[in-house]
Amino acid sequence: MHIELIIIGNEIISGDTPDANGPWLSQYLETWNAKLDQISIIPDQPGVILNTLSQSINRSNLIIISGGLGPTDDDITKKTLAGFFHKDLKINPVAQELVKSHYVRLKRQWVPEHNFYHMIPEGFEPLSNNIGLAPGLFFQTATYSIIVAPGVPLEFQSIIKETIPLKNLIDAQPPLYQLQIRTKNITEEMIFNEVGIELLKKIRPFTEICSYPRSFGGVDLVIKSQQDIQTLKEDFLNSPLKQYIWQIGNLSLPELIIQMSTSKKIKLGLAESCTGGLISSLLTDVSGSSACYMGSIVAYSYEIKMDLLGVKQATLDSYGAVSKETAWEMAKGAFEKLKVDIAIGTTGIAGPMGGTKEKPVGTIGIGLFSKNYSHSDLLVFRGNRIELKKRFSQAALHKLLEVIKTS
Amino acid sequence: MHIELIIIGNEIISGDTPDANGPWLSQYLETWNAKLDQISIIPDQPGVILNTLSQSINRSNLIIISGGLGPTDDDITKKTLAGFFHKDLKINPVAQELVKSHYVRLKRQWVPEHNFYHMIPEGFEPLSNNIGLAPGLFFQTATYSIIVAPGVPLEFQSIIKETIPLKNLIDAQPPLYQLQIRTKNITEEMIFNEVGIELLKKIRPFTEICSYPRSFGGVDLVIKSQQDIQTLKEDFLNSPLKQYIWQIGNLSLPELIIQMSTSKKIKLGLAESCTGGLISSLLTDVSGSSACYMGSIVAYSYEIKMDLLGVKQATLDSYGAVSKETAWEMAKGAFEKLKVDIAIGTTGIAGPMGGTKEKPVGTIGIGLFSKNYSHSDLLVFRGNRIELKKRFSQAALHKLLEVIKTS
């Protein structure tokens, strides 16, 4: 079974709109024990579409196409597909009914002259769109199937999930066992050539080992096998890799923090300066986070650091806003003001301005405060402003996780 | 000139790591008046790499490859490239010196047996990597050039920007004039068939009109032309489209807000519940935001809403935490506590739990408070938790922008 995705759209290839359908589809197919073999991102140009399609039907059994079904002149996917198969674009009665119902659902008036949502290439089946207006398309031959859906992620996902009998298209495959070993403070080289060398050699004969370096200096190992490998968990935790492993599992760092804090009944709070609310946003991305996460004081100005978090003027004067002393007082302030069990404070320089020789862009103070524990650190990372905010947040969350684990 | 990008990596095609190099490269090439014609995302599989490469060299003049240069067994890009060109992978003295210097920069010990960073296909040139360890590669024939860089975004960007004489590879092209018309509360259909129909018909003969529907119910029109089209700005602002245009320009919504607030000397503050710090994070993504953005109180719990923002128990009891009344009191609380000129309050249900029949998942109260203006609204959006947080934030920022514009 060879599955591929063709993403059609000038807005995607130009980098104006990041593609969300590729990653989503890959992860979705994984739940079916299937995977994407190739993704092509191409512009709304008939020649490129035709060329890509003719390669795809030769190598793939299922071709999923996203984009180019909208109402404007550069939405040429249907027209191009019709040309490819030497078919006409015709009014389809089923499509017409679907479009009518889509407009009714969105409480809008359909003017058939304003678009050609109801016209599809002969021989194609229209697919209901439960979110937007444009129907999807389905086409099948003896050797391959084509699914076409709008590029808008919610519509794409809905059509793939709800309308397509994907299980009929994808061959059933034996389930793969999978184990995700998530490490930090270690490089791929160290894992494969030093610390993990023996264990990995031992398990390689009966597993597939994928290594994913994360942008934050950690590496995730994904171990796949046709046989049950749950017992390998123990092997990893008894190996020299142990001290680098922060999780064996599939949770994101914020998910793990929320899960552990909730089960340990630990209330969390933040005082953020340089991370600007990002840590708070990451934690609240997790469904159910309100069970343990109370809130954050984003103190971007000096005044708020002093007025709301009780950071002392003397501390700011002696050590500067970016210092482990200020970070610690911020954490303590959040601990008290937000009435939580553990609080973090972050204060740093995300740049591109504001760096000095002693404290370059990328410097961050991270403070931690709880009833039994208090600590503060000054660290330096590299990257642009957006990357630094992410690295700062990751570093703070890893520190938070350590405290939660021992609480 | 035909330029394409091949992204090699199981972690990308599997959806585990979102690709950042495609969008970045597209935008970077735009600054050179060049563009990407195709992106292929493929796994670390020799067969697929060879197949993709043989198609690429037939249609493109510049092929940029990212990924697969790391130290692990599944990093097979160099080996596969060598095979493709019937060359050997050999120790390259220049590469060796580069790798040595890379290790020194990162204060790490290089063990040549642990990787093959210094080995490259014969006939290829190594490219210095100013961020990581693995050198990039360059190869040129009479009809095409190949650049290979590591997939880690910072390393990829650095090699593309700093090492490659890209201007020698890309043909000089006449500059394109470009105008971005950014609208909200209007669909593509309405623009092209009703509200914008006359103006767009008028300018179509001498422009290229691209239409990008944004996930938040707005549409961006990008007008390109070989002739100067700055005067079209006035035409748009005098057309019926005017009331839907929130910006003619290239700034993101947070960038525009920060720019206008800074120049008008307006201090901004937030009280966030359902958006969980995301609005704050979006504003602080903008370099220089500290000039006008003071901070946020992320009040996820009832207690913090009451204790820090002064939301009345009676308001919570009568109207609920998710209500325009609570949102308004939150905004007022932030206005007072953070001592700002304009404050927003957000309180809603991001789901997937917590919805009721009267207030379904997707409901948000958005309050605004300034010296001369105060308003609150209850709105409903659709999407999953992450999408709703983004939509909520966009809606609040659009309301904030309106107030700033008239302040």
B174-189 confidence digits (pLDDT tens): 667 889 999 999 988 8
Which range has highest mean pLDDT (A7-16, A380-389, B209-218, B295-304)? B295-304
Check pLDDT > 70 for residue B299. Answer: yes
Question: How confident is residue B163, by pLDDT bands cut at 50, 70 and 90?
Answer: low
Name which of A27, A54, A72, A210 to mutate to probe chain B: the one with the most chain B Cβ atoms within 10 A of its Cβ. A72
Q: Which of residues 359-378 of B touch A (CB under 8 A)?
A: none
Check pLDDT > 80 for residue B263. Answer: yes
Position A218 scores a pLDDT of 84
Check pLDDT > 60 for residue B172. Answer: no
Distance from CA of B124 to the nearest CA of A (A): 24
The structural architecture, per CATH, of the domain A253-405 is Alpha-Beta Complex (3.90)
Residues B275, B248 contacting (CB under 8 angstroms): no
Q: What is the mean pLDDT of residues B146-159?
A: 93
Position A172 scores a pLDDT of 53
Q: Which CATH number fits the domain B3-169, given the four candidates 3.20.20.70, 3.30.420.130, 3.40.980.10, 1.20.140.10?
A: 3.40.980.10
CA–CA separation, A298 vs A334, rounded Å? 10
CA B271 to chain centre: 25
Position A76 scores a pLDDT of 93
What residues of chain B lie within 8 A of the CB of A52, using their CB?
38
Q: Which of residues 60-119 of B touch A (CB under 8 A)?
A: 70-74, 111, 113-115
Residues A4, A38 contacting (CB under 8 angstroms): yes
CA–CA separation, A294 vs B272, rounded Å? 12
Q: What is the ipTM of this complex?
A: 0.84
The two tokens of residue A164 are 């397509």
DSSP string, B254-315: HHHHHHHHHHTT--EEEEESTTTTHHHHHHHTSTTGGGTEEEEEEE-SHHHHHHTT---HHH
Residue ranges in A217-354 assigned as alpha helix (H): 232-237, 253-263, 278-284, 302-307, 313-319, 324-337
A386 interfaces chain B, CB cutoff of 8 Å: yes
A18 interfaces chain B, CB cutoff of 8 Å: yes
Q: What is the mean pLDDT of residues A68-76?
A: 86
Residue of B137, B153, B44 whose CA lies nearest to B87:
B137
Check pLDDT > 90 for residue A154. Answer: no
- β-pair type (A245-248, A177-183): antiparallel
Check pLDDT > 70 for residue B173. Answer: no
Residue A136: strand, helix, or coil: strand
Check pLDDT > 70 for residue A281. Answer: yes
Distance from CA of A206 to the nearest CA of B (A): 16
Task: Give the tens place of pLDDT for each residue, A290-337.
Answer: 999 999 999 999 999 999 999 999 999 999 999 999 999 999 999 999
The pTM (predicted TM-score) of the whole model is 0.85
Check pLDDT > 60 for residue A113. Answer: yes
Position B352 scores a pLDDT of 93
Nearest residue in B to A15, CA atom: B23
CA–CA separation, A226 vs B46, rounded Å? 23
CA–CA separation, B120 vs B90, rounded Å? 5
Check pLDDT > 80 for residue A174. Answer: no
Question: How confident is residue B11, by pLDDT bands cut at 50, 70 and 90?
Answer: confident
Cα-Cα end-to-end distance for chain A: 48
Please answer yes or no on whether B276 and A285 come within 8 Å at the CB atom: yes
Please answer yes or no on whether B285 and A389 come within 8 Å at the CB atom: yes
CA A365 to chain centre: 27
Please answer yes or no on whether B276 and A287 come within 8 Å at the CB atom: no
Instruction: Delimit the CATH 3.30.70 region(s) of chain A.
Output: 177-248
Distance from CA of B82 to the nearest CA of A (A): 22
Position B174 scores a pLDDT of 60
CA–CA separation, A188 vs A183, rounded Å? 10
Please answer yes or no on whether B41 and A22 come within 8 Å at the CB atom: yes
Task: Give the tens place of pLDDT for each residue, A95-105.
Answer: 999 999 999 98
Non-local CB neighbours of B263 within 8 Å, separated by 6+ positions: none
A296 interfaces chain B, CB cutoff of 8 Å: yes
Position A289 scores a pLDDT of 97
Task: Give the tens place of pLDDT for each residue, B275-291.
Answer: 999 999 999 999 999 99
CATH number of B177-248: 3.30.70
Report how many Cβ contacts below 8 Å link chain A to chain B: 278
CA–CA separation, B332 vs B355, rounded Å? 26
**A397 exposed, middle or buried (CB, 10 Å; 0-12, 13-18, 19+)?**
buried
Q: How many residues does chain A have?
A: 407
Position A165 scores a pLDDT of 64
H/E element, A28: helix A21-30
Check pLDDT > 70 for residue B165. Answer: no
CB atoms under 10 Å from CB of B173, counted, come to 11
Position B346 scores a pLDDT of 98
Non-local CB neighbours of B253 within 8 Å, separated by 6+ positions: B246, B247, B282, B394, B397, B398, B401
- β-pair type (A245-248, A125-127): unpaired
Check pLDDT > 80 for residue B33. Answer: no
Position B113 scores a pLDDT of 82
What residues of chain A lie within 8 A of the CB of B293, using their CB?
300
CA–CA separation, B309 vs B332, rounded Å? 8
Instruction: Delimit the CATH 3.40.980.10 region(s) of chain A.
Output: 3-169
Please answer yes or no on whether A39 and B11 come within 8 Å at the CB atom: no
Nearest residue in A to B49, CA atom: A38
Q: What is the mean pLDDT of residues B16-29?
A: 90
Check pLDDT > 80 for residue A60. Answer: yes
Non-local CB neighbours of B216 within 8 Å, separated by 6+ positions: B184, B390, B391, B394, B395
Instruction: Delimit the CATH 3.90.950.20 region(s) of chain B.
Output: 253-405
CA–CA separation, A147 vs A130, rounded Å? 16
What residues of chain A lie within 8 A of the CB of B43, using their CB?
37-38
Residue B376: strand, helix, or coil: strand
Task: Give the tens place of pLDDT for each residue, B317-343.
Answer: 999 999 999 999 999 999 999 999 999
CB-CB: which of A26, A152, A281 is closest to B281?
A281
Which residue type does B405 have? Answer: K
Task: Give the tens place of pLDDT for each residue, A22-59.
Answer: 999 998 888 777 889 999 999 999 999 999 999 999 99
What residues of chain A lie within 8 A of the CB of B297, using their CB?
295-298, 308
A353 interfaces chain B, CB cutoff of 8 Å: yes
Distance from CA of A362 to the nearest CA of B (A): 14
